[in-house]
Amino acid sequence: MTTSNPHDVVIVGAGFTGLAAALHLSRAGRKVLVVEADHVPGGLAGIFEFRDGVRIEKFYHHWFNNDLYVPKLVESLGLQDKILTLPSRTGMFYNGRHWRLSSPLDVLKFSALSMIGRLRLGWLVFQVRKVKDWKTIEHLTIREWLEPLCGEEVFRTVWEPLINAKFSVYADSVNAVWFWKKLVLRGSTRDSKGGEQLAYFRGGFGALAQAMADEIVRLGGEIRYGVKATHASLDSGKVAALETSEGTVHGRQFLFTPALPITAKIFAEADPAWTEALQRVRYLGNICLVLELNRSLSSTYWLNVNDPGFPFVGVIEHTNLDKSEHYNGKHIVFLSRYLAVEDPVWAYTDEQYLDFALQHLARMFPDFDRSWLADYRIWRADYAQPVTERDYSRYVPGRETPYANAWVSTMAQIYPEDRGTNYAIREGEEIATLIHSKL
């Protein structure tokens, strides 16, 4: 299909950044076209169905009680009654044992650490608040900054296993800002008793993405699913047209929201220095196994896996946040593993990976039996996690491109924040405001 009548803005990608930008521009009266390679909106938060009709995101999602942009967006859609605010129950699996770590009292009972270690772990949140300018620690790795603050015992027991599980082969390369920001944000979500409140959108974040998509269409925008952007045609310092798997589309302005290496491929004929800068940012993939169980594993929502013998960064039992009754009485569990796509495990078939995962799950939960499994799905994301190395702000590309009518906005660029739906919405709205001013 060839579209010669140009749209005001052509947006590549219907994740939350692309949808937020499209919604903002549509509300401003702009003619918007979104092209999305997947068949549903939402990116990693896209919804799928188990065989029995239970619907859930492909990858786990929630937001924090101090996030601003998700609830504001939900309210603008008139869907605030679908926001669920729920207490979070977190824990740790370490040295073959489950530990509860939802409150300061739980930390004091964490006997895997010495008493001094427990006090240093609890005091850490106050220490990180002393950092007012994140650029002063950007030249340090997480270990270089964190270990002197909390001590070798706390770092080795609590933080090093999580960093290794999160960043795999890049664990020693990630800068301290990533971890500092995590601790600052989590510390600010606690209530007066030290508990944490999380929020969730009833029906899933994919349902929120669909509501955004429906509003874009209602306002006169267009979203084409199953359409892959393949090539940007360039002329006189601008993008003249976008080639897709279903033909050519024209626009006055273009916004690209996929991972930076994907955008680099679309701009195959662009300025090599710029495309090399896009490819400079490294990524890790993620394999997410979503289990539908007939029984619950535990009462914990988020179980960090600190035992180095286990291949997951976390076991997230979603129905310990949102109620099982919303999922036909089933219990939904996400098993998350970050890895380089060159890792041999990445090439496992779904059946091989299920067997691999369940044997480790049974070691963590001895009562678990395969008969509990009602259904499962495995999802892979090649560019799940940007790797923010030392001095990341000096080399990560900005929104501007060498082309006057082309812009880039991705999860790799929300730094110093880490990827997340809340910041994707923020970025989408900000870039939309900029593009609107150019029109």
Domains 3-61+204-281+396-438 and 85-197+283-386 fall in the same CATH topology: no
Whole-number percent of the chain with pLDDT over 70: 97
Furthest CA-CA distance within the chain: 70
pLDDT of residue 188: 53
pLDDT of residue 103: 81
Residue 195 pLDDT class (50, 70, 90 cuts)? low
Out of 118-122, 196-200, 289-293, which region has the weakest mean confidence (pLDDT)?
Answer: 196-200
Task: Identify the CATH assignment for 3-61+204-281+396-438 out of 3.40.50.720, 3.50.50.60, 3.30.230.10, 3.90.25.10.
Answer: 3.50.50.60
Burial of 421 (0-12, 13-18, 19+ CB in 10 A): buried
User: Could you tell me what percent of the chain has a pLDDT over 90?
Assistant: 84
Does domain 85-197+283-386 fall under CATH 3.90.660.10? My reply is yes
pLDDT per position as a tens digit, 148-167: 999 999 999 999 999 999 99
Of the candidate ranges 52-66, 138-152, 236-250, 364-378, the one whose mean pLDDT is the lowest: 52-66
Measured in degrees and rounded to the nearest 5, phi and psi for residue 121 equal -65, -45
Q: What pLDDT was estimated at residue 88? A: 81
Question: Quick one: DSSP state of residue 419?
Answer: S
Residues 31-72 have pLDDT tens digits of 999 999 999 999 999 999 999 999 999 999 998 878 899 999
Q: Which of 73-87, 190-204, 206-220, 290-304 has the lowest mean pLDDT?
A: 190-204
Contacts of 261 (CB under 8 A, 6+ apart): 278, 279, 281, 283, 383
Confidence band of 374 (pLDDT split at 50, 70, 90)? very high
Domain ranges of the chain: 3-61+204-281+396-438, 85-197+283-386
Q: What is the pLDDT of residues 17-34, one digit of tens each?
A: 999 999 999 999 999 999
What local confidence, expressed as pLDDT, does residue 78 receive? 97
Give the pLDDT confidence of 133-149 residue by residue, as tens digits: 999 999 999 999 999 99
Residue 270: what pLDDT? 94
Check pLDDT > 60 for residue 75.
yes
**Comparing C-alpha atoms, which of 15, 18, 29, 20 is closest to residue 439?**
29
pLDDT band at 126 (very low <50, low <70, confident <90, very high): confident
Asked if pLDDT for residue 367 goes beyond 70, the answer is yes
Model confidence at 7, pLDDT cuts 50, 70, 90, reads: very high
Give exposure, 279-292, as e/b (b: 16+ Cβ within 10 Å).
eebbbbbbbbbbbb
Q: Is 184's pLDDT higher than 90? A: no
To the nearest whole number, what is the mean pLDDT of the chain? 93
